[in-house]
Chains A and B, each alone.
Chain A
Amino acid sequence: MPEYTLKIRRYTPETGEAAYWEDFTVDLDGHRSVLDGILQAKDRFDGSIGIRCSCRAAICGSCGVRINGRPGLACHMHLEEAAKRAGDGKIIVEPMGNMPVLKDLIVDMDAVHWKKMRRVTPWLLPDGEPPEREYVVPKESMVDITQTMACIQCGACVSDCLSMEVDPEFIGPAALAKAYRFVGDPRDGQQFERLKDLSEDPHGIYDCTHCFNCIEACPKGVAPMSQIMRLRRISGGDHHIEDRNNGYRHEKAFVKNIEKNGILMEADLLPDSYGGKFHPRAVPELVGSLPVVLTALRRGKVTLKKALIPHKLEGQKSVKKIFDTVHDRDERYELNLYISGTDEEPEHGSERTDSGEDGAAAGTTTAQGSPSSSPPERSPNS
């Protein structure tokens, strides 16, 4: 069996010594997981290696770590894969980031992850008394929040959240995705209050730096950043909540800017994000950015004309028409690929038909592949 070297970050708090690296060489099939490797090292060489783990099947969320610098579940990464990206042939395993390390690969989730989770009031707050039977809710709404319900609280998103890195008070991707689970649940009676709370918190939904790290990190497809954007959409678009970070204003200003100019006119964007050129909020910002602007003018980077007179885009009328058409709709059309998936390639150009009834296995599938009678020969995969 092939051998893999794991370079594990060790830290034993009782010794008072600094953290250090230790190598372990394990022999396992390449498709086995990094967790299997760590457990073999634990079993054979050093039982003191600390790692939280339980299900080995990416469902319990215990084994969040950083492998070769990227956050994820140890049970979810094949040794072969990890070795490919390894520097000098060693698979680097470290504890997750943004959280204090308790021992080896074990971090204090309570102090960061769970604390932020509690911040978003993570339980259903229905209005009034429950009905006799079930709440009646649209089927789609339950399917929709299944995406956020899929979160296994592993902390991988929190680990590498770049906003949290510079602003530890940022509520963070996991908690905000969980907030969507309630905002998107028709049974919750506090949609507005939740959004107001999270928008007005300066470390709330508008503090996300839009870096996609959490989407990349998440082993379950929760896409926390996308949920944050949904919260912004609902908060701004439906409830017009003005947050303290100028986030909603910025969004409105940007949209208005393109609607008017087609190509971004930066000089308008900055002041409009604060409320307008002469708005009291904007003035200190404009004054503060004067040195930068002056430098830019001096260098010839920007000319006064360019800055103050919008560029005229040919075809701007058509662009504006698109804005009007979409804005006129009664409801926002949002396609969520997590739920709808990707179209099948129809064979011979035939049209794809839709099934999707409860448990119905009616013959409308376009599933390609093996005919129903005999399964193809497959080599064993374990």
Chain B
Amino acid sequence: MKVAYWPGCVSRGFTPELHGSMELVAPLLDIELVELDRACCTGAGVIAEHNQELADTLNARTFAMAQAVEGADMMMNICSTCQGAQSECQERLDANAEYRAHVNETLSGESLHYEKGITNKHFLWLMVEEIGLDAIAAKVVKPLTGLKVGPFYGCYIVRPTDRLGIDDDNPRDTYLTQLIETLGGTVVDYAGSHKCCGFPIITMNKAASLKQAGRHIGDAIDADADCLVTPCPLCHLNLDLQQPLAQKEVGRDLGLPILHLPQLVGLAFGLEPKALGLSKHVVKPTSVIDWSTSVVAGVGDGGW
């Protein structure tokens, strides 16, 4: 399938391994990525906090560009925060024709026009809903046997449920669990899986921010996880980049590797860990890297 691809900001900035691993995994899933290289930041909720119309217009512009991609089946993103921020804007744009017309007027300067009802799916949703877990299972080369993976969704992709289309027919807040199992891994159930990494307040209340990250990582470790997987690079920043400081905040050693979603998929599809950028993480995913085809060693030292 062909998708209008919005990679987000951070995947090209401080978590380049996300962008890189997505590029490697896409062809294996027969996904043609047409990158929206003129599109700008979704605002991550912060621009919407500052001015809703601004956020809505910037994202309408991105949507319009996606809609203009010839032959694209839909738009795809790889960040929980992008998904949430864009869904919020789309909800307003789609709900009110008058407002939409107003926003489209601003876009007309660039000859862009947003048609109501764009399909914008996170890579996680796309895998489960468009490609299908059976098809994915068929492509697994190195099943993640024995790897205990804790899902960490990121707030923006699991709440509010009605805006994100999460219901009994589309239990999107369980997709990571389903995916991990499809890839052969063992899902670790722990308290923090659907909670907040703290990223939004890292400059506003650093202690509270890092306490959240530290606690959830700690809970996962206590539940015997080997690693976490997250579909959000902002969460990745607070959970991986900030893990050394988070450790200090919660007063316990952590050292839990945090994987990006495409990296997990890539490993199961037989791609090399280094190619997937796993060596770029602050918390080295030692256990995952040292694994070949069978059971994985638990999380040990060598976190740094």
CA distance A301 to B231 in the complex (A): 18
Q: Which of A6-14, A27-35, A251-259 contacts B (4 or more CB under 8 A)?
A: A251-259
Distance in angstroms between the alpha carbons of A266 and B245 in the assembled complex: 18
Contact assessment for A322 and B208 in the assembled complex, using a CB-CB cutoff below 8 Å: no
Total interface residues on B, CB under 8 Å, equals: 69
What's the nearest-Cβ distance from chain B to residue A160, in Å? 9
Chain A residue contacts of B106, Cβ below 8 A: 322, 325-326
Give A316-356 interface residues, CB cut-off 8 Å to B.
316, 318-319, 321-323, 325-327, 329, 332-335, 337, 340-343, 352
Interface flag for A77 (CB, 8 Å): no
Of the listed stretches B51-59, B144-152, B288-296, name the one at the interface; the rest are far from the partner chain: B51-59
Q: Could you tell me how many residues of chain A have their Cβ less than 8 Å away from some Cβ of chain B?
A: 76
Is B10's CB within 8 Å of the partner chain A? yes
Say which residue of A213, A332, A337 sits within 8 Å of B51 (CB atoms): A332
Residue of A209, A246, A301 near B282 (CB, 8 A) is: A301
**Chain B 1-24 per-residue mask, 1 if CB under 8 angstroms from chain A, else 0:** 000000001101111110000000
A316 to B244, CA, bound (A): 36
CA distance A163 to B209 in the complex (A): 8
Cβ-defined contact, A273 with B203, below 8 A: yes
Is B51 within 8 A of A233, CB to CB?
yes
Contact between A311 and B12, CB atoms less than 8 A apart:
yes
A264 to B198, CA, bound (A): 19
A315-B38 Cα distance, complex, nearest whole Å: 6
A207 engages B201 (CB within 8 Å): yes
In the complex, which residues of chain B have a beta carbon less than 8 angstroms from the beta carbon of A208?
200-201
Give min CB distance, B213 to chain A, whole Å.
Answer: 10
Whether A207 pairs with B13 at a CB distance below 8 angstroms is no
Chain A residues near B10 (CB, 8 Å)?
A: 264, 266
**B136 in the interface, Cβ–Cβ < 8 Å?**
no
Q: Does A216 contact B (CB under 8 A)?
A: yes
**Nearest residue, chain A, Cβ from B205:** A207
Residues of A within 8 A of B168 (CB): 84
* Shortest distance from the beta carbon of B229 to any chain A beta carbon, whole Å: 18
Closest chain B residue to A329, Cβ basis: B53
Q: Is A232 an interface residue (CB 8 A)?
A: yes
B68-76, B92-100, B259-267: which lies at the A interface? Answer: B92-100
- Residue in B46, B196, B203 whose CB lies within 8 Å of A209: B196
Chain B 70-107 per-residue mask, 1 if CB under 8 angstroms from chain A, else 0: 00000000000000100000011011110100100011
Stretch with Cβ within 8 A of B (4 or more), from A41-49, A126-134, A144-152, A288-296: A288-296
Instruction: Report which of A166, A216, A326, A332 forms a contact with B57, defined as CB distance below 8 A.
Output: A326
Q: Is there an interface contact between A343 and B155, defined as CB atoms closer than 8 Å?
A: no
Shortest beta-carbon distance, B166 to chain A, in Å? Answer: 10
A252: chain B residues within 8 A (beta carbon): 50
B50 close to A352 (CB less than 8 A): no
Q: A166-B212, A292-B241, A318-B109 are in contact. Are A258 and B280 (CB under 8 A)?
A: no
Rounded to whole angstroms, the CA-CA distance of A245 and B244 in the bound complex is: 22
Contact A263 B204 (CB under 8 A): no
User: Shortest Cβ distance from A261 into chain B, in angstroms?
Assistant: 8
Q: How far is the CB of A90 from chain B (nearest CB, A)?
A: 16
Q: Whole-angstrom distance between the alpha carbons of A185 and B106 in the complex? A: 31
Q: Contacts of A206 on B, CB cut-off 8 Å? A: 201, 204-205
Docked-complex contact B96 and A335, CB < 8 angstroms: yes
Give the contacting residue for B52; candidates A84, A232, A334; CB below 8 A.
A334
A251 and B46 alpha carbons, distance in the complex (Å): 6
A332 touches B53 (CB 8 A): yes
Kindly list chain B residues whose C-beta atoms are within 8 Å of the C-beta of A237: 50-51
- Inter-chain CA distance A16–B91, complex, in Å, is 51
Tell me the interface secondary structure of chain A in the complex: helix
A115 to chain B, nearest CB (A): 19
The contact string, 1 if C-beta is below 8 Å from chain B, for chain A 148-162, is 000000000000001
Bound Cα distance from A94 to B281, whole angstroms: 39
A219 CB within 8 Å of chain B: no
B218 at the interface (CB under 8 A from A): no
Distance in angstroms between the alpha carbons of A163 and B49 in the assembled complex: 18
Q: Complex formed: what's the CA distance from A193 to B62 in Å? A: 39
CB-defined contacts of B215 to chain A, threshold 8 Å? 166
* Contacting residues of chain A (281-319) with chain B, CB-CB under 8 angstroms: 285, 288, 291-292, 295-296, 299-302, 306, 311, 313-316, 318-319
**B160 close to A (CB within 8 Å):** yes
User: Is A202 interfacial (CB 8 A cutoff)?
Assistant: yes
By a CB distance below 8 angstroms, the chain A residues around B161 are: 216
Q: Is B45 an interface residue (CB 8 A)?
A: yes
**B30 at interface (Cβ–Cβ under 8 A)?**
no
Complex CA–CA separation, A227 to B45 (angstroms): 14
Tell yes or no: A60 within 8 A of B by CB. Answer: no
The answer to whether B196 and A258 touch across the interface, beta carbons within 8 angstroms, is no
Q: Is the CB of A233 within 8 A of B38?
A: no
Asked if B126 lies at the interface with its beta carbon under 8 angstroms from chain A, I say: no
From the candidates A166, A264, A270, A273, name the one contacting B211 in the complex (CB within 8 A).
A166
| B115 partner residues in chain A, CB cutoff 8 A | none
Which residue of chain A lies nearest to B61 when distances are taken between CB atoms in the complex?
A322
Given contacts A296-B282, A302-B14, contact A254 B242 (CB under 8 A): no
| Interface membership of A143, Cβ < 8 A | no
Q: A162-B196, A301-B280, A322-B106 given; name 5 further pairs at CB < 8 Å.
A: A212-B160, A306-B13, A314-B37, A325-B57, A334-B53
Which 5 A-B residue pairings sit nearest by Cβ, starting from the closest?
A212-B159, A264-B9, A315-B38, A245-B204, A211-B196
Taking Cβ atoms with an 8 Å cutoff, the residues of B that contact A are: 9-10, 12-17, 37-38, 40-41, 43-54, 57-58, 61, 84, 91-92, 94-97, 99, 102, 106-107, 109-110, 155-156, 159-161, 168, 195-196, 198, 200-201, 203-205, 207-209, 211-212, 215, 241-242, 244-245, 279-282, 304
Can you offer 17 A-B residue contacts whose CB atoms are under 8 A? A166-B198, A211-B155, A211-B159, A216-B160, A232-B49, A233-B50, A246-B203, A246-B204, A251-B49, A251-B50, A258-B40, A264-B41, A302-B16, A313-B37, A318-B110, A323-B54, A335-B52
